[in-house]
Amino acid sequence: MTTSATSTTSSTPAPAIPVRGAHAGQPTPLRILGRATRSELIKLGTVRSTGWVLLLAAVSIIGIGVVNAIGILVQLRQRPDSQPPTLDPAAAALSGVGAALVAVAALGILSVTADYSSGMIKTTIAAVPRRAYLVLAHTGALLSYVLPVAVGSTLLTFLANKIIVSFAGVTISITDPGVARAVVGGGLYLAVLAVFTAGLGWLLRSTAGALVTWLALWIVPTLVIMLFPSSIVERVGPWLPANVGTAIYQFGVSGTAAWSSLAVFAGYGLVLMGLATVLLRRRDA
Amino acid sequence: MIEINQLSKRFGSKLAVDNLTVTIHPGRVTGFLGPNGAGKSTTMRMIVGLDRPTGGEVLIDGLRYSDYAAPLRQVGALLDAKALHPGRSAYHHLWALAVTAGIGRDRVREVLELVGLSDVAGRRTRTFSLGMGQRLGIASALLGDPPVLMLDEPVNGLDPDGIHWIRGLLRALAAEGRTVFVSSHLMSEMALTADHLVILGRGRLLADVAMAEMLAASSPSVLARTPQTDAFAMVLRQEGISFQRFEPQVLSITDEPLDRIAELAFAHQIVLHELRATHGSLEDAYLALTHDAVEYVATTPTSRRVA
């Protein structure tokens, strides 16, 4: 297969490369960032794992959400006059977000560490030597994939559930207080998680290392805090990595509490990214 | 033009590149030679900003690599043919690189054609042979049509046809006035391709010479084949002429003109079956240079041997 290609080139003498004219005008920093972001978009879009992992995240959100809605429908039909369903029909739409965590974290980590494990990072950094731009461009590209899929999935699930529970005469609406915030927030939460895990990828430069660190951050503090008195658990608990930000897609939480929870999670992500950028600039590629 | 200025790189206790100052000029192919671990790759990595120098700097046409907004248009580098994602196709790989420098897809197709990978452009690079990977690396170096090209072991894995092709390509690029900087461990390959040599040993500059000069400097010797080897050896010793005994009947005599050897043999009635001047090869000259460098460093830390 390849021999034909080889022989055609080798039989012809090395062709002169047409010299293109000097490129007048230095690109602006914004232009450089734009080009780098486009490159990262192409990179993410041209490996199979991106599509598969995003599909997995969408299937987790929609699948679990819809199954729960059907469960509510069945419950209401069998016992129409008994106690209200164990699960809030609106909250059911977001029941899959927790399961989608794994897929989104895997994407965040792999989107960075695949470059390191393959050696592609050398090519990438040689093409975009301003490393802070590279981190920014990668984050932008990652968000352009995760945000639409995550927010789209939660919205779609909510719409599907609205139709499903309507068969039991239950009405849920996106305009109900706190509902729009929670539904969109579920997607936003996953987007922040993608940035957070990508930060771990930049810091640790290895898929296994970043994955283990992420799991440890999510599990260990939650276990350790159990050893402390409940007053401390109440005060610190919501800010542990596994809990912070989740209030955004929960009902029965005030808007301020929900948004500040997500903001703190985003803050964690920013700190990680800042640290990653400093280290990336200092380390050899 | 690549200006390397007092460049140093330390890895822990090891000084990989030691105060290197050398300029790579345009319009010719400069070969970069040195034993394994001499610091060639580290130097090349510092040129494109992958490694941060411990000291000194590299300027490419007056600017640091990272100062270029679209560096692929300035320097085309092939450092590691495996520096790519195996799950991405050759076309997509080049396309992702091209957009960082505002290069269009036409140019991507052009370089794929140039290196002979057009037919397999859509295939994931995981399926590529070493030689095909090397061609893809060369394609990515040519992508930005850069005035400076830097290739680390470009013939690695190429078939004879490919080696012939890249030789012509490098010479053509240099003839267009570009700076072409190529490392190789194949001395014979360098002898055919390079006009100029930069030789590194233990991180230090050993030589920065024109190829012709290097070949001329490699000490010529005279080979004498005689059945009276012992007798002739005694004559040479008496005259204070240095020589080595290669085979039982062959003496290699250095630093003496052929005429004088012939006259000495005649005067002492030595029968010669063969007498000829040999020109030192690039390999000999290179080995002599690097051997000294390696030996020098090896003896220093222990200070066991007196030179």
Query: Per residue in B181-200, pLDDT tens?
Result: 999 877 778 888 999 999 99
- So what's the pLDDT on residue B84? 92
- By C-alpha distance, the chain B residue nearest A27 is B69
Give A13's contacts in chain B (Cβ within 8 Å).
168, 172
Query: Per residue in B50-85, pLDDT tens?
Result: 999 999 999 999 999 999 999 999 999 999 888 999
Whether B173 and chain A come into contact, CB under 8 Å, resolves to: yes
The pTM of the whole model exceeds 0.95: no
Is the model more confident about A247 or about B218?
Answer: A247
Helices (H), chain A: 2-11, 29-45, 48-78, 89-92, 97-118, 120-127, 131-166, 179-204, 207-224, 230-236, 255-282
Mutation for B interface: A46, A121, A125, A282, most B CBs within 10 A: A46
From CA A121, how far away is CA B265, in angstroms rounded? Answer: 66
Which secondary-structure segment (H or E) carries B115?
A: helix B105-115
- So what's the pLDDT on residue A25? 55
From CA A126, how far away is CA B70, in angstroms rounded? Answer: 10
Query: Per residue in B126-154, pLDDT tens?
Result: 999 999 999 999 999 999 999 999 999 99
Query: Per residue in B153-180, pLDDT tens?
Result: 998 888 899 999 999 999 999 999 999 9
- So what's the pLDDT on residue A197? 98
By mean pLDDT, which of A125-129, B133-137, B288-292 is the weakest?
B288-292
- So what's the pLDDT on residue A116? 95
Q: Are residues B199 and B253 in the same domain?
A: no
Handedness of CA A242, A244, A249, A250 (dihedral sign): positive
From CA A122, how far away is CA B152, in angstroms rounded? Answer: 14
CATH at B257: 3.30.70.100
From CA A245, how far away is CA B51, in angstroms rounded? Answer: 38
Q: Are residues B143 and B274 in the same domain?
A: no
Q: What is the mean pLDDT of chain B?
A: 88
Q: What is the mean pLDDT of chain A?
A: 89
CATH at B203: 3.40.50.300
What does DSSP assign to residue B7? Answer: E
Contacts of B50 (CB under 8 A, 6+ apart): A122, A125, A126, A284, A285, B79
Q: Are residues B203 and B227 in the same domain?
A: no
Distance from the A26 Cα atom to the nearest Cα atom in chain B, whole angstroms: 7
Cβ–Cβ < 8 Å for B246, B192: no
Q: Are residues B274 and B152 in the same domain?
A: no
- How many other CB atoms are there within 10 angstroms of residue B89's CB atom? 19
Domain residue spans in chain A? 30-282
With respect to residue B37, please indicate whether it lies within any of the assigned structural domains. Answer: yes
Please identify which residue in the block is written with the tokens 């009947």: B249
Say if residue B201's pLDDT is above 50. Answer: yes
Q: Amino acid identity of A37?
A: T
CA-based nearest residue to B142, from B115, B181, B104: B115
Say if residue B101's pLDDT is above 60. Answer: yes
Q: Are residues B23 and B71 in the same domain?
A: yes
Q: Among B182, B208, B234, which residue terminates a domain?
A: B208
Query: Per residue in A70-96, pLDDT tens?
Result: 998 888 888 766 566 667 888 888 999
Q: Are residues B62 and B149 in the same domain?
A: yes
Cβ–Cβ < 8 Å for B197, B183: no
By mean pLDDT, which of A256-270, B187-201, B209-223 is the weakest?
B209-223
- Scan residues 15-54 of B and list those with Cβ closer than 8 Å to A: 45, 48-52
- So what's the pLDDT on residue B294? 57
- Residue B282 pLDDT class (50, 70, 90 cuts): confident
Q: Which of B72, B82, B165 sits opposite A14 (nearest CB)?
A: B165
- So what's the pLDDT on residue A277? 96
CB contact under 8 A, A35 and B100: yes
CB contact under 8 A, B85 and A7: no
- So what's the pLDDT on residue A80? 61
Say if residue A127's pLDDT is above 50. Answer: yes
Q: Are residues B200 and B240 in the same domain?
A: no
Query: What percent of chain B has pLDDT above 70?
Result: 92
Q: Are residues B271 and B181 in the same domain?
A: no
Query: Per residue in B112-124, pLDDT tens?
Result: 999 999 999 999 9
- So what's the pLDDT on residue B3? 97
Residue A126 burial (10 A CB sphere; 0-12, 13-18, 19+) = buried
Q: Are residues B159 and B64 in the same domain?
A: yes
With respect to residue B134, please indicate whether it lies within any of the assigned structural domains. Answer: no
Q: Amino acid identity of B208?
A: D
- So what's the pLDDT on residue B293? 61
Mutation for A interface: B50, B100, B159, B178, most A CBs within 10 A: B100
What does DSSP assign to residue A14? Answer: P
CB contact under 8 A, B84 and A119: yes
Query: Per residue in A198-211, pLDDT tens?
Result: 999 999 999 999 99
Distance from the B221 Cα atom to the nearest Cα atom in chain A, whole angstroms: 38
What does DSSP assign to residue B64? Answer: -
Helix/strand/coil percentages in chain B, nearest 5: 40, 25, 35
Please identify which residue in the block is written with the tokens 């036409």: B106
Distance from the B39 Cα atom to the nearest Cα atom in chain A, whole angstroms: 15
Q: Are residues B264 and B152 in the same domain?
A: no
Is the model more confident about B48 or about B35?
Answer: B48
Q: Are residues B22 and B74 in the same domain?
A: yes
State the helix-helix crossing angle for B160-175 and B130-142, rounded to 10 degrees. Answer: 10
Say if residue A6's pLDDT is above 50. Answer: no
Give Cα separations from A72 to A65, A75, A88, B90 (angstroms): 11, 5, 8, 50
Cβ–Cβ < 8 Å for A94, A249: yes
Cβ–Cβ < 8 Å for A204, A118: no
- How many other CB atoms are there within 10 angstroms of residue B299's CB atom? 13
**A-B contacts (CB, under 8 Å):** 144
Cβ–Cβ < 8 Å for A109, A207: yes
Whether B65 and chain A come into contact, CB under 8 Å, resolves to: yes
Say if residue B14's pLDDT is above 70. Answer: yes
Query: Per residue in A140-189, pLDDT tens?
Result: 999 999 999 999 999 999 999 999 999 988 888 898 888 999 999 999 99
Give A115's contacts in chain B (Cβ within 8 Å).
85
- Scan residues 199-258 of A and list those with Cβ closer than 8 Å to B: none
From CA B57, how far away is CA B46, in angstroms rounded? Answer: 8
With respect to residue B121, please indicate whether it lies within any of the assigned structural domains. Answer: no
Read out DSSP for B166-181?
HHHHHHHHHHTT-EEE
Q: Tell me how many domains chain B contains.
A: 2
With respect to residue B265, please indicate whether it lies within any of the assigned structural domains. Answer: yes
- Scan residues 21-40 of A and list those with Cβ closer than 8 Å to B: 23, 26-27, 31-32, 35-36, 38-40
Q: Are residues B80 and B223 in the same domain?
A: no
- Scan residues 94-153 of A and list those with Cβ closer than 8 Å to B: 114-115, 118-123, 125-130
Q: Among B208, B229, B256, which residue terminates a domain?
A: B208
- Residue B300 pLDDT class (50, 70, 90 cuts): very low
From CA A138, how far away is CA A40, in angstroms rounded? Answer: 6
Edge-first strand listing for the sheet containing B250-254: B243-247, B250-254, B221-225, B274-278
- So what's the pLDDT on residue B305? 40
CB contact under 8 A, A10 and B161: yes
Contacts of B38 (CB under 8 A, 6+ apart): B200, B201, B202, B203, B290
Whether B106 and chain A come into contact, CB under 8 Å, resolves to: no
Range of the domain at B237: 219-278
Q: Tell me the two tokens of residue B208.
A: 């920065």
CA-based nearest residue to B293, from B228, B218, B160, B203: B203
CA angle at A107 for the pair A103 and A112, rounded to the nearest 5°? 155
From CA A114, how far away is CA A137, in angstroms rounded? Answer: 16
Is the model more confident about B127 or about B242?
Answer: B127
With respect to residue B186, please indicate whether it lies within any of the assigned structural domains. Answer: yes
What SS3 state is found at A213?
A: helix
What does DSSP assign to residue A15? Answer: P
Query: Per residue in A15-34, pLDDT tens?
Result: 444 444 444 457 889 999 99
With respect to residue B165, please indicate whether it lies within any of the assigned structural domains. Answer: yes
- Report the DSSP beta bridge partners of residue B182: B31, B151
Mean pLDDT in residue range B4-17: 94
With respect to residue B154, please indicate whether it lies within any of the assigned structural domains. Answer: yes
CA-based nearest residue to B138, from B180, B102, B96, B106: B180
Say if residue B298's pLDDT is above 60. Answer: no
Give A16's contacts in chain B (Cβ within 8 Å).
172, 176
Contacts of A201 (CB under 8 A, 6+ apart): A108, A109, A110, A111, A112, A113, A116, A207, A210
